[in-house]
Amino acid sequence: MANALNWFEIPVLDFERAKKFYEKVLGQPMQTFEAMGMKSAFFPADLQSGHIGGCIIQGQGYEPSGKGSLIFLNGGTDLSSQLDRVEAAGGAVVLSKTSMGMNGFSARFTDTEGNLVGLHSMA
């Protein structure tokens, strides 16, 4: 097993609002897909090279939550630039950039849907 994590899904209620939020925070477009009555927008990932991917998803049984599992998105070379865009995009910073020693830096925010999400970077 190369990675403990294979795929993740972040539940959303207002699909377009959430998609705009994540595109603004990450500074990258998300590809949309609709199937089986569910809407998804994919985070950038090179799945062919074995990288981990995920999406935001709207559909029956998907409920946003600030409790439970915590997903950390890739904060690039320095998560500060992404974290700086959270509030302007409609979210709220819950934990500012925090050192984890030799493991880099992390931060946490709530998105427009009420999900608690983390960012991680090495600088």
Q: What is the pLDDT of residues 88-102, one digit of tens each?
A: 999 999 999 999 999
Residues 41, 26: Cα–Cα separation, whole Å: 13
- How many structural domains does the chain have? 1
Domain membership flag for residue 77: yes
Domain membership flag for residue 17: yes
Q: Outline where DSSP puts E strands in the chain.
A: 7-11, 31-35, 38-42, 53-58, 71-74, 92-99, 105-110, 116-121
Domain membership flag for residue 68: yes
Domain assignment of residue 57, given as a range: 7-121
How many C-beta atoms lie closer than 10 Å to residue 10's C-beta? 21
The DSSP code for 75 is -
Sorted by sequence, the CB contacts under 8 Å of residue 119 that are 6+ apart come out as 72, 73, 74, 75, 79, 82, 83, 106, 107, 108, 109
Q: What CATH number is given to the structural domain containing 14?
A: 3.10.180.10
- Beta carbons of 32 and 40 less than 8 angstroms apart: yes
Task: State pLDDT tens for residues 30-86.
Answer: 999 999 999 999 999 888 888 889 999 999 999 999 999 999 999 999 999 999 999
φ and ψ at residue 8, rounded to 5 degrees? -140, 155
Domain membership flag for residue 1: no
